[in-house]
Amino acid sequence: MKNNKQLRKWLDDLNLSHPLVIAGPCSAETEEQLLKVAHELKETDTSVLRAGIWKPRTRPGNFEGVGALGLKWLQKAKEETGLLTTTEVANANHVDLALKHDVDILWVGARTTVSPFIVQEIADAVKGTDTIILVKNPVNPDLALWLGAVERFYEAGISKLGVIHRGFSTYQKSRFRNNPEWQIPIDLQNSFPDLPLILDPSHIAGKRDLIFDLCQTALDLNYDGLMIETHPNPDKAWSDANQQITPEKLAWLTKNLKIRKPESNEKEFKNQINTLRTQIDLIDNQIMTVLGKRMEIVDEIGALKKDNNVAILQVKRWNAVLNRMILEGKENKLSEEFVLKIYKAIHQESINHQKKVIND
Ligand code: PEP
Ligand code: MN
């Protein structure tokens, strides 16, 4: 699956001059609602109409979707507007019904990606079809589980694939409904650069006013597209009302986002970036040299501890070093979190060095 341009052919074939936009309501509610939003979205950068037909709800008693009936409305919206369509599927029966109604793209929801059994059931159900599958990240921050789901589809012969980053749930309250944990999709992008990566800012944000900034961050990170919950009357939505926006707001948003070019050939830019990168390379070399020197001294201390039969770990000294470096970090505009991470790693390497010296 690695380095496989085939994975993104479906996206390249759309020939878009901007990132892919998937928009539409959290849930299909009525025929009128869905057709109204579809026609309004047709006038924006949207290529794909989304609508939840079966809604996985964390707690029972909330609106659980209109069911198969809504697929007819989705089909009608597609016929009337020419937009592609997508919906969430969570079992083989959903797949069967969605494909019977010409749904172009099926997405696997966050609560489904966590279950390899269900993912496999869905993969078996789409086997032999030409469907495009988008896999949302699992609710828990686990890259392997996310990739595992994608691989199940790939192994079932589905090569039109993509992933949707919708954030990760945490027990602690944060400003987001689901924490973005950007490092996880970045790691995924580094390992599978051809797998289209789409941001779902709506489920990360949980509220409208965070959506724009999330989209901009995604574009700065070279994401391939956005999936944004859009409703003709967001406040009256039957599900996820706080995070949905109007088609008008969506149009404003896509106009105001800055699309960064992955590369630039402009001479001046290239010169400047080369100079700066050379500087970074030199500093990186210095960092390695200094760390190597630090470890040489650590080894000397290790030998001294061995001669005097003293334990490797000296908690008091370690805490003193850490506190001093946190202050030093502040002076140099480095966050405490960052300094802690670096020093924990340095300390671990020092312990490994001394263990070797003492046991030699
Ligand atoms: C949705 O897209 O409406 C949805 C239920 O998403 P998720 O699976 O990300 O919670
Ligand atoms: Mn939703």
Residues 152 and 107 in one domain: yes
Contact 179, 220 (CB under 8 A): no
Q: 166 in helix, strand or coil?
A: coil
234 lines ligand 1 (CB under 6 A): no
Ligand 1: atom nearest CA of 52 is: 3
**pLDDT tens sequence across 118-167:** 999 999 999 999 999 999 999 999 999 999 999 999 999 999 999 999 99
Residue spans of beta strands (DSSP E) within 105-224: 105-108, 132-136, 161-165, 197-199
203 lines ligand 1 (CB under 6 A): yes
Flag whether 134 is in a domain: yes
237 lines ligand 1 (CB under 6 A): no
Contact 105, 85 (CB under 8 A): yes
Residue 279 pLDDT grade (very low, low, confident, very high; cuts 50, 70, 90): confident
Kindly report each contact of residues 260-269 with a partner whose C-beta sits within 8 Å and lies 24 or more positions away, as own/partner: 260/219, 260/220, 260/222, 262/222
Residue 344 has pLDDT above 90, yes or no: yes
Residue 264 has pLDDT above 80, yes or no: no
**pLDDT tens sequence across 303-340:** 999 999 988 888 899 999 999 999 999 999 999 999 99
Residue 29 has pLDDT above 80, yes or no: yes
Flag whether 209 is in a domain: yes
Flag whether 261 is in a domain: no
Residues 142 and 286 in one domain: no
* Probe residue for ligand 1, chosen from 64, 105, 135, 200 as the CB with the greatest number of ligand atoms within 8 Å: 200
- What's the rounded Cα separation, in Å, for the pair 357 and 305? 9
- The residues near 346 (Cβ < 8 Å, ≥ 6 apart) are 291, 294
Bridge partners of residue 135, in order along the sequence: 108, 163
- Mean pLDDT score of the chain, rounded to an integer? 95
pTM: 0.79
Flag whether 262 is in a domain: no
Q: Which among 149, 232, 162 has a CA at the least distance from the CA of 192?
A: 162
Residues 243 and 282 in one domain: no
Q: 200 in helix, strand or coil?
A: coil
Residue 270 pLDDT grade (very low, low, confident, very high; cuts 50, 70, 90): confident
Residue 282 pLDDT grade (very low, low, confident, very high; cuts 50, 70, 90): confident
Predicted pLDDT at 233: 98
**What CATH code is carried by the domain that includes residue 337?**
1.20.59.10
Residues 205 and 69 in one domain: yes
Largest CA distance in the chain: 84
Q: How far is CA 206 from CA 55, 113, 169, 269, 354, in A?
A: 16, 20, 12, 38, 49
Residue 65 has pLDDT above 90, yes or no: yes
- Range of lowest pLDDT (37-51, 200-214, 346-360): 346-360
Backbone φ, ψ for residue 200 (5° rounding): -110, 90
Residues 306 and 237 in one domain: no
Predicted pLDDT at 307: 94
**What CATH code is carried by the domain that includes residue 220?**
3.20.20.70
Residue 274 has pLDDT above 90, yes or no: no
Residues 49 and 167 in one domain: yes
Flag whether 183 is in a domain: yes
* Probe residue for ligand 1, chosen from 62, 88, 146, 169 as the CB with the greatest number of ligand atoms within 8 Å: 88
Q: Which of 209, 224, 256 finishes a domain? A: 256
110 lines ligand 1 (CB under 6 A): yes
Q: How many domains does the chain have?
A: 2
Residue 58 has pLDDT above 90, yes or no: no
In a 13 Å sphere around the CA of 189, the CA atoms on its Cβ side amount to 16
Residue 278 pLDDT grade (very low, low, confident, very high; cuts 50, 70, 90): confident
Average pLDDT over residues 51-74: 94
Which residues form the domain of 354? Answer: 267-359
